[in-house]
Structure 1
Amino acid sequence: MPRPTFTSYMAMPLARHNLSQSSQSYSVRAPAWLQKLVSDVTKGPKLYAWTIENLEAHRQKRDTKLELHTRNLVQADATKRVHILGIGNLGRLYATSLANLGEAPITLVLHRKGLLEQWASEPAIEITRRGVTERVENFDVEWWTEEKPPVGPVREVCRGCSISNLIVSTKAPDALPQVDRLRRYLDAKSTVAFVQNGMNRLWPPNGAIYNDKRFLPNQHPNWIHCVTTHGVTSLGPLKSIHASPADIAMGPVSLNPETRDCSDYLVEQILRAPHLSARAVPTSALWVLQLEKLVVNSTINPLTALLRCKNGSLFSESGDSASEKVMDLLIDEASLVLQALVQHPSSREILADSSFPDTGTHESVDRMALLARFSPARLRAMLHHVGEKVKDNTSSMLQDVTSGKQTEIREFNGWFVDMAEYLGLETPNHKVICDLVENSGQVLGQDQLGRHFPAINKL
């Protein structure tokens, strides 16, 4: 039996907001990131694709094996090529899994020249599972930059044509800005799959505004998202351990009504790739799964970062530790926001794409079911269930703070703060968490943590 694709899940194309209606309804409250992106009305920068042949050191020491990969860039079918933007832990997971499938030519897109130089000296990704390390080499590698290479062949990204299949595995704050930078090379036949944590920024109400501002009518790419629950930890540059194999729920955020079938190729590659355990879900299910994962990420991640502990240390048998009381505060605020969002008009388009028939009665039942699903008690039970499964893991935010990297706090707790403001609500405890993670370099103990949240004394 063939696997379901997004097209089989969605009998009717998603409705597209009218620009004037979208602007009248939402532009006053458009978040800062959206205002910043759409204020740039240019076509997007012309980008050059550097390969190892553009490195001076490489030209002095030729490597025919690496040059063969460069020639593959020209020979392979461009519509089948998968570009992976960002080679952190998730990028390595997707890249090695797709390479093991062995069907699509894969290009890793690096974000700085130093990584290209590193690849020239050590051209492989290493990923460890159950104590066994696999070394994968069959990739093409490029650095995309506005800087024209002074040596070697001069090539524009995709030779000036469009990117057919793009997996975006950067950190969440960089995802849409990096995609927006590539807008010159994206069109209606492009499929873009986001795989990072946090809510996709192209959900209603903002996605329609972005599409209308950036692309001609019905010329925007097919936007999809992969909710990835695998636990992957870095062992160094280009090396990761697949610590907690799990699964991927993949679905459409917004498909182009005229070119939706173009997404089938990338979807099928991800569904069939070994180690990913991916499944296709409809838009409404994807939205709910992202929201639920956001609840988990916005409670476990920042607290482990502040306390410098593994996930399981947040939970005690008595249930009365400061960290658990803070989690209760965060859950209560998250529930308030999510229940209000379910009832907001901006969610109507998402909920219309559900497994229920498109009738008022069934939509009402669906909303009532979601209100119950997003209740504090249900969210708390979900958090403890997930917490038990990942108790031995180190959260991505703890990895970020210990390595001095930017965290995703604004994509997690900051999303609740922004959405609460949009809905006319308050989330003071999520604001405190954001400030603590961003402004506190110290390691907190349970007592110190509790002093920042006086409301826990009322629990």
Structure 2
Amino acid sequence: MASRQSTPDWLQRILDDSSAPPKLYSWTSANLSKERANQAVPKTQENSPKKPSRDRIHVLGIGNMGRLFASSLAKLPSRPPITLVLHRKALLEQWVSSPGIEITRSGEVQKSTDFDVEWWTDEKPHSGPVIEATSGTGITNLIVATKASDALPLVDRLRRYLDDSSTVAFTQNGMCKMWPPVGDIYTGHRFSKDKGPNWIACITTHGVVSLAPFRSRHASVADVLVGPVSLNAQTGSSSNYLTDQIVNGPDLYGRKVSKSDLWVSQLKKLVVNSVINPLTALLRCRNGDLFLSTDDEVARVIDMLILEASEVLKALIAHSSSAEILEITNVEHKYDPDSQQTNATMDKLHDQFSFDNLRKMVYDVGHKVRENTSSMLQDVRAGKPTEIRDFNGWLVETGELLNEGLDLPSHKRLIGMVENGLTLSREELGDRFGITDGQTP
């Protein structure tokens, strides 16, 4: 899967790029206009450079997930120093005007202010202290809480500050791009030998709704799974620090899982997201409204999407590239497709990824989150780009990479509808998928 023909577009663009990573500057309140800088800010936003700390956690992206993780980690009994890394100057100005993360739970507003807050940019400050990001010492612990489409481009931009002492945790919906084999190709291209970071990922099932910048409502409490994606052979154990902080974070309800369990769980959640998110975005409805019937137009479209997803997942687990993730190699660390362990693992996963079991899972999750508004519908209403290319697009891309004959027409059609900004009724949705008189094509 490393040839140009079988390399995902996002990876090929990086492989074709040999430019040096940018030097970034850390802007704080001291670098804003005098009027802004003089406004009251928490004591942690003093103008002096922060002392380097191996325990410091940087949170990149301060949307719903960033707020949830940062505010939870701030409640730890032995609280680590936390830096919120913003992507726009306007957000830094907003923070200075009204500092704090607010999370509303059961009608109660909980506010956290004890953070270092910085805007990282390649633009040198025009006034105030000129300080390189992390004072040039590098990032030890990074939580990437951006949208899925932004995650890797932003991490790639920070690679100057990452090395084998770094642990990077991805919190996005969709599949983490650092899974082998493509993640290993990326790491080998961007980092010198044995200097790649430790990549871990989180699967978050909490329901969080944005109220305003730095303000969210914790709509439904669930949990976070966290585990390794690809660890540095020499420094992998250092990832335990960030993993443990996330697991112990109040309000996160974290649980540590193995690499294979994390991978399988991400695949399952991807199927759920590829159904619920785009359909609620098209129908402009709550999650639960998709499941009012098991035999109408929407139910038939759901079945079409799940059937195609099932075919991709079954092809994926049978591919030799999945052996490392599933840890089904022999004593010589080679993939043996005929071993007893391989057959047992494959039989179990084929059952989990069957149409019937995936369908039951989607309906079960749909019932649990029936009162929630999907993240994609929130994005559509806010006029923001959606993550459909990281959900349905990933399935289409993976199907094409694994098997030239593995086509996903329903998912392709759905991508086009969402990206064209359509709003449909249930009947119109059925018509778009060729469902007439209750008959599936």
2:2 corresponds to 1:40: no
Q: Is the 8 A contact 1:37 1:177 kept in 2?
A: no
2:251 corresponds to 1:275: yes
- Structure 1 partner of 2:66: 91
SS in 2 for 1:368: helix
- Structure 2 partner of 1:251: 227
| CA distance in 1: counterparts of 2:297 and 2:154, whole angstroms | 38
Instruction: Give 5+ residue unaligned stretches, structure 2.
Output: none
Give the % identical residues: 53
- Structure 1 partner of 2:305: 330
Q: Is the 8 A contact 1:43 1:183 kept in 2?
A: no
Select the residue among 46, 50, 54 that pairs with 1:74: 50
Task: Give the CA deviation at 1:28.
Answer: 2.5
Q: Is the 8 A contact 2:247 2:254 kept in 1?
A: yes
Cα pair distance change 1:58/1:253, threshold 3 Å: farther
Q: Is the 8 A contact 1:315 1:321 kept in 2?
A: no
Which amino acid counterpart does residue 428 of structure 1 have in structure 2? P
Which stretches of structure 1, 4 residues or longer, exceed 4 Å deviation after superposition?
none
- Structure 2 partner of 1:16: none
1:259-282, Cα deviation, whole Å (9 max, x unpaired) = 012111111111111000001101
Q: Is the 8 A contact 1:188 1:221 kept in 2?
A: yes
Select the residue among 83, 88, 102 that pairs with 1:107: 83
2:294 corresponds to 1:315: no
Q: Is the 8 A contact 2:57 2:140 kept in 1?
A: yes
Which amino acid counterpart does residue 453 of structure 1 have in structure 2? F
Task: Give the CA deviation at 1:423.
Answer: 1.4
Matches within 5 A, 1:160-309: 160-309=136-285
Q: Is the 8 A contact 1:283 1:353 kept in 2?
A: no
SS in 2 for 1:377: helix
Instruction: Give 5+ residue unaligned stretches, structure 1.
Output: 1-21
Cα pair distance change 1:215/1:447, threshold 3 Å: same
2:415 corresponds to 1:430: no
Cα pair distance change 1:68/1:447, threshold 3 Å: closer
| CA distance in 2: counterparts of 1:59 and 1:329, whole angstroms | 54
SS in 2 for 1:28: coil
Which amino acid counterpart does residue 55 of structure 2 have in structure 1? K
Which has the larger share of helix?
Answer: 1
Task: Give the CA deviation at 1:105.
Answer: 0.5
Cα pair distance change 1:442/1:427, threshold 3 Å: closer
Cα pair distance change 1:280/1:53, threshold 3 Å: same
| CA distance in 2: counterparts of 1:353 and 1:315, whole angstroms | 37
Aligned length in residues: 429
Select the residue among 357, 365, 379 that pairs with 1:378: 357
Task: Give the CA deviation at 1:57.
Answer: 3.6
1:288-335, Cα deviation, whole Å (9 max, x unpaired) = 000000000000100000000000100124x12211111100000000
Give the TM-score taking structure 1 as reference length. Answer: 0.91
- Structure 1 partner of 2:440: 458
| Greater shift in the superposed pair: 78-87 or 30-39 | 30-39
Task: Give the CA deviation at 1:41.
Answer: 1.3
Which amino acid counterpart does residue 141 of structure 1 have in structure 2? V
- Structure 2 partner of 1:368: 347
